Structure 1
Amino acid sequence: MTPVRWGVLSAGRIATNKVIPGMLKSHMLTVSGIAARDLSRAQLAASRLGIEEVYGSYEAMLADPEIEAIYNPLPNHLHVPMTLAAVRAGKHVLCEKPMALRASELDVLRPYADRVHIWEAFMVRFHPQWIDAREQIRRGAIGDLRFMQVGFSYFNDDPSDIRNRADIGGGATYDIGCYAVFAGRRFFDSNPQRAIATMDRDSAFGTDRCTSGLLDFAGGRQLAFSVSTQAARYQRVLLAGTRGRIEIEIPFNAPQDGACRYGLDDCSSLDGSSTRFTVLPVAGQYQLQAEAFSHAVRHQQPSEAALDDAQWNIRTIEALFSSAQTGRFEVV
């Protein structure tokens, strides 16, 4: 197919260190331009990554008729405003998670959802380990999936980091709790009905630095998770069924240049020695995500389904924040 011409809003770290390098490995697209409010940062990134066009403003990129698709990795509070500006300009948009800070904010994008593709950038859905594990569950390899446990943490107490700014959507729940919610929805193949959470907030930043939650998916199915921005680096997804379990060792930051594995345990031994590991070949989830989006641009009709998916994730996050205040289960 004719490669899709992409533009990137921002020369931030997630874009320049992870997403763009993955995109550049694909023959299905070209990263044609990068924009930043600080022109020198955009020029530096473009020079390092071999990007042709540099824009000194987001608006200049959106006005370029040659740009077909936009990757939006801006701070959380700018996700909806700049995605809206992009779709109004006729661009398809892949927007970083969380797509919004409130579910209702996404309503402004709905008039454009049948004209252009608007996706939330959960790259993990395209990684073979997630696809394989999900297929194992669907085939009944561990029986009926009963509960999930998700842990995800890193340590960051830098006051200048946007993830530590409460006024623009920082904190553990927005940044990495969204992955736990997405994992539950992905592997249970349904949406939670209610949620309860407890949060510990940083006294200086005002952000939630440690959040634990429980999501009720009905039918006895539950997801328990803990996420933290001030704990040792760790991540796991455990999927427990009636006849076994699956554990994904590096579920969210899978290595881009090395193999990864997940374990399937029939639980005949409590020490884990009955676990059979599946080793998967090298796979770049950012490249796979960009290729899936580019394929959709060329071959699929846009629809509201992607916005529905994003809205469910944000609705669940809103319920968690509400529960942390009320101390009780909240309806999603």
Structure 2
Amino acid sequence: MSDRLKWGVLSTAGIGMRKVIPGMKKSELGIVHAIASRDEAKASAAAEKLQIPVSYGSYEALLADPEIDAIYNPLPVNMHVDWSIKAMESGKHVLCEKPIAMSAEEAKRLIDARERTGKQVLEAVMVRQHPQWLRVAEIIRSGEIGEVCLMQTTMSFFNDDPNNIRNIPEVGGGALYDVGCYALFLSRFVFNAEPEQVVAMSDIDPNMKTDRLMSGIVDFGGGKQLSFACGTQLARFQTVQIFGRKGRIEVPISLNAPQGGEVTITIDADGTNEPDKMRREVIPASDQYTLQADLAARVFLGETAAEYPIENAVNNMAAIDALYRSSKSHTWEKVASI
């Protein structure tokens, strides 16, 4: 392996084409070497558009390329685990899109694959690398807003296209899988703890059978709670509020921070809720997808240990599993973290 990681991209999925690959191409630690699609013409067009040197008309051909060190996997959710394991068995490390699997039990297969192949597999959760969230963690650790006890978030967008993968339950569509998973990632990040139990309510689209609205409470124990709502057929919105005993932090652009743009967080350190007494911090411009690629490359190159190993992804899936169970049982469900 050279000093710069050579990436292969497994599919021409929209998230990769629009955001992740452009971010990866700015990484000083890696090179986007190849891209694959089951449609050779589509792969060639994607390679030309994003100036990627090599294109393949099958996923198998990409995995067989000896030049490639690591795979970025943005396939539909129901294909994440199988193709990530195939990549690891082909001698490649893997950065796989969120959510990592359809269930925690399925995700556990990746732990076995890592132990068997010696290859790392990480979940692509770009927000954890963004400087605004690192700053939020710093403020919480400083004690400025007191003990943090509550996080509230709403994450939503509108998409009612029945052919869009976000609206096909068999491949991992639905609000909780697509954006609700971020509420769980971020609350676990904020509380630095694993949830104990959850309760949820959902609204199922009568035609597409996906959860188009999911809301819930996630109990972390010790008086710490996440309250969230996520939707796929609501006005586009995202925000996170973090409440401490003394003060509050607001993160208005919590997920889709502009690539190469500044963002602002608001700190109401004294809990006055008076705008003229709040502090607004401008977080310098960055690209969270570049930062994500850099961190993954450092892990894959053996320069650092994984801060969020695949066990972390399994635990996020355990909370998702519990929320889906609760939405059907209409009662509290325990979270089976590992």
- For normalisation by structure 2, the TM-score amounts to 0.96
Which residue type is aligned with residue 29 of structure 1? G
**SS of structure 2 residue aligned to 1:251:** coil
Give the equivalent residue in structure 2 for 1:105.
106
Find the aligned partners of 2:154 and 2:303 in 1 and give their Cα distance.
Answer: 35
**SS of structure 2 residue aligned to 1:217:** strand
Give the equivalent residue in structure 2 for 1:274.
277
Give the equivalent residue in structure 2 for 1:174.
177
Residue by residue, what CA displacement relative to the aligned partner does 1:26-74 show, whole Å, maximum 9, x if unpaired?
2211000000001111111100111011011001011111100000000
Find the aligned partners of 2:99 and 2:271 in 1 and give their Cα distance.
Answer: 39
Find the aligned partners of 2:290 and 2:332 in 1 and give their Cα distance.
Answer: 38
Give the equivalent residue in structure 1 for 2:331.
328
Give the equivalent residue in structure 2 for 1:264.
267
Find the aligned partners of 2:144 and 2:305 in 1 and give their Cα distance.
Answer: 34
Find the aligned partners of 1:305 and 1:15 in 2 and give their Cα distance.
Answer: 21
| % identical aligned pairs | 45
Q: Is the 8 A contact 1:113 1:304 kept in 2?
A: no
Q: Does 1:27 align with 2:22?
A: no
Which residue type is aligned with residue 137 of structure 2? R
Which residue type is aligned with residue 141 of structure 2? R
Q: Is the 8 A contact 1:6 1:32 kept in 2?
A: yes
Find the aligned partners of 2:15 and 2:154 in 1 and give their Cα distance.
Answer: 21
Give the equivalent residue in structure 2 for 1:7.
8
Give the equivalent residue in structure 1 for 2:136.
133
Q: Is the 8 A contact 2:241 2:250 kept in 1?
A: yes
Structure 1 residue runs of 5 or longer lacking an equivalent are none
Structure 2 residue runs of 5 or longer lacking an equivalent are none
**SS of structure 2 residue aligned to 1:113:** helix
Find the aligned partners of 2:270 and 2:212 in 1 and give their Cα distance.
Answer: 34
Find the aligned partners of 1:325 and 1:85 in 2 and give their Cα distance.
Answer: 34
Residue by residue, what CA displacement relative to the aligned partner does 1:119-173 show, whole Å, maximum 9, x if unpaired?
0100100000000001110111110001000110000011111100011110000
Find the aligned partners of 1:267 and 1:211 in 2 and give their Cα distance.
Answer: 32
Which residue type is aligned with residue 86 of structure 1? A
Q: Does 1:73 align with 2:74?
A: yes
With over 3 angstroms needed to count, the CA separation of the structure-2 counterparts of 1:89 and 1:314, relative to structure 1, is: same
Find the aligned partners of 2:307 and 2:299 in 1 and give their Cα distance.
Answer: 14
Q: Does 1:206 align with 2:209?
A: yes
Which residue type is aligned with residue 87 of structure 1? M
Q: Which stretches of structure 1, 4 residues or more, deviate above 4 A after TM superposition?
A: 300-305
Note the C-alpha offset of 1:107: 2.5
Which residue type is aligned with residue 193 of structure 2? S
| Corresponding residue pairs, total | 332
Residue by residue, what CA displacement relative to the aligned partner does 1:231-289 show, whole Å, maximum 9, x if unpaired?
00100111000110001110100011211010110245334332101101111000000
Which residue type is aligned with residue 215 of structure 1? V
Note the C-alpha offset of 1:299: 2.4
Find the aligned partners of 2:252 and 2:235 in 1 and give their Cα distance.
Answer: 16
Give the equivalent residue in structure 2 for 1:306.
309
Which residue type is aligned with residue 197 of structure 2? R
Give the equivalent residue in structure 1 for 2:168.
165
Which residue type is aligned with residue 37 of structure 1? R
Note the C-alpha offset of 1:303: 7.1
Find the aligned partners of 2:184 and 2:275 in 1 and give their Cα distance.
Answer: 26
